[in-house]
Amino acid sequence: MNISDVLKLSNDSNLKLIAGEKGKDRKVETIEVMEVPQPEEWANSGVLVITTFYSVQNDSEEQLRIVKELIQNRAAGLIVKIGKFIKDLSEPIIKLANDHDFPILSLPKEVAYIDILSPLNAQLHMENLKNQDSIKYLKDVQIYMNNWHESVENAVNELAKKLLCSIYIEDEKGRLLYHSNSLVLDGWRDNTLLFSYPSNVQYEEFLKNWSEKVNLKNYFSEVFEQKKHMIIPVYRNQEQLLFIHLVSNRNVVTEYFDTNTIELVKNRILTNMISEYADLQREFFLKEQEWQQFKKKNPTGQFILLYLERSLNEVIYQSTEYSFDYQSLLKKYLKDLLSKITEQKDIYIFQTEKGLFIFLNMTKEMNEPMELKNLVKEIFEQSQLRDMYVAISPIFEKLTDWNDKKFNIVKTLKVGKKIYPNEYIHSYHELGLYEFLIELSSHQPVQIYVKSVLQGLSQSDPVLTETLNMYLKENGNASRAAEKLFVTRRTITYRLQRIKDILGMDLDRAEDIFILQFCLRINHLENI
C-alpha cells in the first residue's frame, strides 16, 4: 500500500494531499497515532503518522522539527487533523515537505480516527498475509529451480503449474522454442509452431525496444488482449539470447517474483538449455556412428523412409556464435514424435540443405499402405510441427535401395505439394504413378498430342476447363459437379454439351474419358 492507495481507501473521509505531491508512491508499512512528540524515538521507515499536533499546537517550530525528524527517519507520510487544535500548517512545513517529496495529508476535524484507521489497517493486514504467502511461494519456486534436473520442456511445464500461468520461451528474434502445455494464445502469439514468429504486427518494434533495455531492467511488463506478460530477457556476454514470457490474467511480478527469483529462473533456464543441447549433440553424434556401423552390415528388414520440408526450419542454417543449436532441438522434437509409432524399433535422422530424411527400422510390416500415412498425419497434426510437409516411402527390405528411395521420395513430396497444395502428408503409394506421368510430360511427342486434344478447349472460356476437371473428378456425376461449382445442374449440362462440341469427344465413352483425364493430368504436371 502506498500514499495513493491511502487516498483512495479514505475517499469517504475527505482526506486531501496538501504537500509532497511527488511522494504519493511512498510505501506504507505501518500506521501510528502520534502521542509523544519525539518521533526520533519511535518513527521507523515506512510509518504513516496520524496526529492532531495537540501537544505542540502552539509551537510551529516544534511542528517543523517533528516533520524534519519524520523525513530523516524515512517515514511514509503524515496525516494531520486540521481545525481541532491547529487551523493550518505553516509555510516552512509545506515547503520542507515539497522539497523532500514528503506527503502531508489533511483530515477534517469531524472525522474520527477509527473511520480512517479501520480501512487502512485492514488493507495492511491483507497485504501482510499476502506477503507471507508470497515469501513461502517464492521459497518453493527457488527450491524447485535449485533442484531442477529435468528437461527444459518438463521444467517449463512444472514451473507454469507452480506459478499458475502460461510460459513460453522465444529467441532474440521472437521465434518460439519451448512452451508450457497451458499456453494461452493472445495478441502477442496466436500459434505454437516450433520456430514460429509472434503474430503481433508490431512484434519487431517490441523486440527492439526490449533488447535496448536488457541492461537496464530485469523484466518488462506488457498487456496483450488483457493477458499480462512478465517478460524476462536472458543474455550472455551482453548478447541477447532469449525472452521468457510468463502470461497470466493477474500480475505475476508483484505477487510472486523478486529480483533474486528472476535471476534464478533465467540463469537456470539458460544453463539447462545449453546443457540439454550439449547432450543432444552427443546423442546424435553417437547415433551417426551407429548408423555407419548399421550400413556396413548391409542388413535386410522392414524399412521406411520419410522426407520432410518446412519453411520455418530455415533458422537451423542461420546460427550465430551465441545462438542455440536449433538443429538438435528440431531433431529432438521429431524423434519424440516418431517414437509414437510403436512398430518402429529404431530411428535415424539426417539433415540436408533443404530438408530432413528419417529412416525407420520397423519391427513388422504395416498391413495397409494407408495405415502409416494416417498415423503420421495424426501425430503431426497435433504437434508443433503440424506445418511440416512429409513424404512417406513404400516399405523396402534392402538397405542397398537407400539411395533410390531417397531420390523417389523427394520427387513424391514435390508432386504432392503440386497436386494437393493444401495437404501436408503424402505417400509414394498414392503419388508414385505421377512420377511416370511427369516423365512423360517432358517428352515432346506427348506435349504435341496433349495440345492437339485440348487445343479447342484451351482457346475457349476457362470456365469450361474448370467444369470438365470437376466433372471428371466427380466420376461423371453432373449433380455433384454442379454443387462443387455452385451452379445449377442445367448450367453444367449446357457447359458439358459445349465441351463435347468443341473437343468432338463423347463424355459417356470410357475411352474418351481416359484420354481426357490423361491429357488434363499431363497438362497440369508440365511445370513440375
Identify the structural domains of the chain with CATH numbers, from first to last. Answer: 3-120 (3.40.1390.20), 153-274 (3.30.450), 298-426 (3.30.70.270), 442-525 (1.10.10.2840)
| Contact status, residue 293 vs residue 399, Cβ threshold 8 Å | no
Give 187-254 as a DSSP string. Answer: SS-----TTPPP--TTHHHHHHHHHHTTTT-S-EEEEETTEEEEEEEEEETTEEEEEEEEEESS-HHH
Share of the chain above pLDDT 90, in %: 27
pLDDT at residue number 128: 61
pLDDT at residue number 125: 60
The least confident of 98-102, 205-209, 309-313 is 309-313
Helix 152-163 × helix 259-296 angle, to 10°? 150
Is the pLDDT at 508 greater than 80, yes or no?
Answer: yes
Kindly give the pairing relationship between strand 220-224 and strand 239-248.
unpaired
94 pLDDT tier (thresholds 50, 70, 90): very high
User: For 141-192, how does the pLDDT look when each residue is reduced to its tens digit (9 = 90+)?
Assistant: 666 666 666 788 888 888 887 777 888 999 988 999 999 887 778 889 988 8
pLDDT at residue number 450: 87
| Contact status, residue 158 vs residue 140, Cβ threshold 8 Å | no
Closest alpha carbon to 491 in 473, 470, 522? 470
What amino acid is encoded at 247 in this protein? Answer: V
The least confident of 198-202, 387-391, 524-528 is 524-528
For residue 499, CA distances in Å to 217, 338, 447, 469, 522 come to 71, 49, 21, 11, 19
pLDDT at residue number 322: 45
For residue 2, CA distances in Å to 24, 120, 305 come to 7, 11, 66
Closest alpha carbon to 197 in 222, 179, 170, 220? 170
Q: Considering the entire predicted model, what is its pTM?
A: 0.63
H-state helical runs in 33-112: 39-42, 60-72, 91-99
Average pLDDT over residues 213-219: 70
Report which DSSP code applies to 85: S
Average pLDDT over residues 12-35: 86
| Contact status, residue 65 vs residue 93, Cβ threshold 8 Å | no
Q: In whole angstroms, how large is the CA radius of gyration of the chain?
A: 37
Q: Between residues 34 and 410, which one has the greater pLDDT?
A: 410
Q: Distance between CA 248 and CA 242 in Å, rounded?
A: 19
Q: Between residues 253 and 411, which one has the greater pLDDT?
A: 411
Q: Between residues 260 and 449, which one has the greater pLDDT?
A: 449
Cβ neighbour number for residue 455 with a 10 Å cutoff: 12
388 pLDDT tier (thresholds 50, 70, 90): very high
Average pLDDT over residues 299-315: 86
Give 14-42 as a DSSP string. Answer: T-EEEE-GGGTTPBP-EEEE--SS-HHHH
